[in-house]
């Protein structure tokens, strides 16, 4: 028997900000059969509550079933921006830098050991490997040594 091994990918779950959550209510009042009147979907709970008040005023019905729906997206953990100060590799310049922030379309990286920041494509940078970290650290130490009078 073969076992298939899947790489475990951690995801974060985020509400999709591009889609409005939906609130709705259905009147479940009635002795024999439910009334079944519906509020329709609203982007805010207040819209549903307003409909409930009006429906109760009109009919005397007092029991509702309410539903809330939203959209959620699963985001692989590696798509999250790195922590500030994390060492990342930029394939565009083939350099390792300390992640500073993402500003507009660019990720700002600072050379290890200090220096002028550069702009990288946030979609392409990735955590630096151990070898890349060491190499960047050594280069930074060398350039410091050279600069020293």
Binding residues (CB under 5 A) for Zn ion: these are 27, 29, 35, 37, 59, 61
Residue whose CB is less far from Zn ion, 41 or 100? 41
Among 69, 8, 59, which residue's Cα sits nearest to residue 29? 59
Query: Smallest distance from the beta carbon of 37 to Zn ion, in angstroms?
Result: 4
Query: Smallest distance from the beta carbon of 55 to Zn ion, in angstroms?
Result: 6
Residue whose CB is less far from Zn ion, 61 or 110? 61
Query: Smallest distance from the beta carbon of 39 to Zn ion, in angstroms?
Result: 11
Query: Smallest distance from the beta carbon of 48 to Zn ion, in angstroms?
Result: 14
Token duo for residue 13: 């779950």
Token duo for residue 57: 């005023």
| CA 133/CA 106 separation, integer angstroms | 22
Residue with tokens 């050379």: 111
Residue whose CB is less far from Zn ion, 28 or 140? 28
Is residue 25 a contact partner of residue 48, using CB atoms and an 8 Å limit?
yes
Query: Smallest distance from the beta carbon of 50 to Zn ion, in angstroms?
Result: 15
Residue whose CB is less far from Zn ion, 35 or 86? 35
What is the chain's length?
Answer: 149
Is residue 68 a contact partner of residue 23, using CB atoms and an 8 Å limit?
yes
| CA 57/CA 41 separation, integer angstroms | 20
Residue whose CB is less far from Zn ion, 25 or 112? 25
| CA 31/CA 60 separation, integer angstroms | 13
């Amino acid at each position: 028997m073969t076992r298939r091994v899947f790489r475990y990918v951690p995801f974060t779950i985020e509400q999709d900000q591009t889609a409005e959550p939906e609130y709705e209510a259905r009147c479940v009042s009635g002795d024999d059969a439910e009334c079944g009147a519906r509020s329709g979907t609203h982007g805010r709970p207040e819209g549903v509550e307003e409909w409930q008040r009006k429906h109760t005023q009109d009919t005397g019905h007092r029991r509702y079933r309410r539903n809330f729906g939203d959209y959620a997206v699963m985001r692989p953990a590696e798509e999250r921006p790195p922590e500030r100060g994390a060492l990342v590799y930029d394939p565009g310049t083939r350099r390792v830098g300390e992640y500073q922030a993402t500003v507009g379309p660019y990720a700002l990286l600072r050379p290890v050991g200090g220096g002028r920041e550069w702009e990288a494509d946030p979609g392409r940078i990735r955590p630096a490997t151990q070898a890349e970290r060491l190499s960047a650290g050594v280069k930074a130490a060398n350039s410091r040594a050279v600069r020293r009078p």
